[in-house]
């Protein structure tokens, strides 16, 4: 495996930090982004990593990040957020904000990095998606929809850039133990409040018992070591089994399993 320069977005904690740490240990030059590098806690800062500021909710921030990052051999689009709340009550401003963070920023950064990869006729673009793009998850409509869009975008892009030696993959983590917050998007007095509380508590329990973020970092290494990596990788505990069931069970069967898993009806 040839080593070069990797750019990881959203790398102050969780999956992004684990990827940055693993890539650094493997000998890669690592550029990592977070909202405010100067405010990054010492415990979250990795010696040897170059940190750049990136506010993914700002559409104007992408061009400056691409300029500062320079030549990138591997782009890992990881930055994102996972709000929770009823689809009916999602305010338009919040919908736009979360799609900018989870989807549009990744598309814009990829567009900015691709010309250099295409000219060098090599490179890898990895999108951190989610199992929730494959299976319905109650009160996760914004996150699930944005991650489903990421997968579709990546699949199309993969075919378009293959002739230039560029590889494109999506990793769909399955309940990884991180500090990714669950921003609550729900009106006061919402009729969905009781169900949201149950789902939120169930999700928190499953995350607390989930695999560590390092499993996703190891999936990244598997992709980089593969001569012809697959379009989609599931990552987490029992990832292959859960991925198989999600893709081969009937959609109504998957929906029923997810409803029980999240204690939707109490």
Positions marked active-site: 143
For 182, the token pair is: 């669950």
Cβ proximity of 147 and 161 under 8 Å: no
């Amino acid at each position: 495996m040839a080593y070069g320069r990797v750019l990881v977005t959203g790398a102050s904690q969780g999956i992004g930090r684990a990827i940055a740490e693993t890539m650094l240990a493997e000998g890669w030059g690592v550029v990592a982004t977070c909202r405010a590098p100067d405010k990054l806690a010492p415990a979250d800062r990795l010696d040897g990593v170059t940190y750049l500021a990136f506010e993914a909710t700002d559409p104007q921030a992408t061009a400056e990040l691409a300029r500062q990052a320079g030549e990138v051999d591997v782009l890992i689009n990881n930055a994102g957020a996972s709000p929770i709340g009823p689809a009916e009550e999602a305010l338009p401003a919040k919908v736009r904000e979360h799609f900018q963070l989870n989807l549009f920023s990744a598309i814009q950064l990829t567009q900015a990095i691709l010309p250099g990869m295409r000219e060098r006729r090599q490179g890898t673009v990895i999108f951190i998606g989610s199992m929730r793009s494959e299976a319905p998850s109650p009160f996760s409509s914004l996150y699930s929809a944005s991650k489903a869009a990421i997968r579709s975008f990546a699949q199309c892009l993969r075919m378009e850039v293959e002739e230039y030696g560029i590889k494109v993959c999506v990793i769909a983590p399955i309940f990884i133990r991180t500090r990714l917050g669950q921003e609550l998007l729900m009106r006061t007095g919402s009729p969905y409040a009781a169900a949201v509380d149950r789902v939120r508590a169930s999700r928190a329990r499953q995350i607390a018992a989930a695999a560590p973020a390092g499993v996703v970092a190891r999936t990244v290494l598997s992709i980089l070591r593969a001569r012809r990596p697959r379009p989609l990788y599931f990552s987490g505990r029992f990832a292959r089994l859960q991925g198989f069931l999600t893709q081969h069970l009937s959609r109504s069967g998957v929906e029923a399993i997810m409803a029980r898993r999240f204690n939707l009806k109490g």
